[in-house]
Amino acid sequence: MLIQQHVDNSDFFDRTWNEFRVGFGRASGNLWLGNERIHQLTADGGCKLRFVIQQEASSTWFRADYSTFILGDESTGYQLTVAGFSGDVNYDAFTQHNGWSFATRDRDVGGIAVSYGGGFWYDSTLGGYARVNAADHWFDWSQLAGGDNLMHTQMWLRCP
């Protein structure tokens, strides 16, 4: 199931908490399924996550798989549990977000979501390493071989 898609480096994901809670966009363009729906799908702990990312410099596609992907409920700030990395991307930029809560422009400790131009699981001091909802030059996957900047991303959820 497609839960995220970013087809350009625009500020399309610069949205409010409520918009991320319910979801927005469409599968033919930029998309966020919605944190509440993602929580409901992953709460039992049986889901896996796959990132498919396209590097801007080379147009090369990479994947990053996670054997554990759980999103807490709204009372936890949709806290992320992620582990079990594998894939052909040279650097695991997403596991470092483990334990972080979701941030949006209107619920943003430290101003990170405002700076990056899009909501995601960010830390108030570290920011983030996988910035797949960010805008402009912040739309990147940290330490990606050949250049960090991205031109397209997808997040796919696989549940039993």
What is the three-state SS of the chain?
A: CEEEEECCCCCCCCCCHHHHHHCEECCCCCEECCHHHHHHHHCCCCCEEEEEEEECCCCCEEEEEEEEEEECCHHHCCCEEEEEEEECCCCCCCHHHCCCCEEECCECHHHHHHHHCCCEECECCCECCEECCCCHHHCEECCCCCCCEEEEEEEEEECC
Query: How would you classify the pairing of strands 130-131 and 140-141?
Result: antiparallel
**pTM to 2 decimal places:** 0.96
119-132 residue pLDDT tens: 999 998 888 999 99
45-67 residue pLDDT tens: 999 999 999 999 999 999 999 99
pLDDT of residue 110: 85
pLDDT of residue 49: 98
CB atoms within 10 A of CB 23: 17
Q: Which two structure tokens, joined as six digits, stand for 67?
A: 């054997």
Find the domain containing 123 and state its range.
Answer: 2-158
pLDDT of residue 112: 92
pLDDT of residue 139: 94
Count how many domains the chain has: 1
Domain CATH code at residue 150? 3.90.215.10
The residue ranges of the chain whose pLDDT is under 70 are: none
pLDDT of residue 155: 98
pLDDT of residue 9: 84
Q: Which two structure tokens, joined as six digits, stand for 112?
A: 């990170």
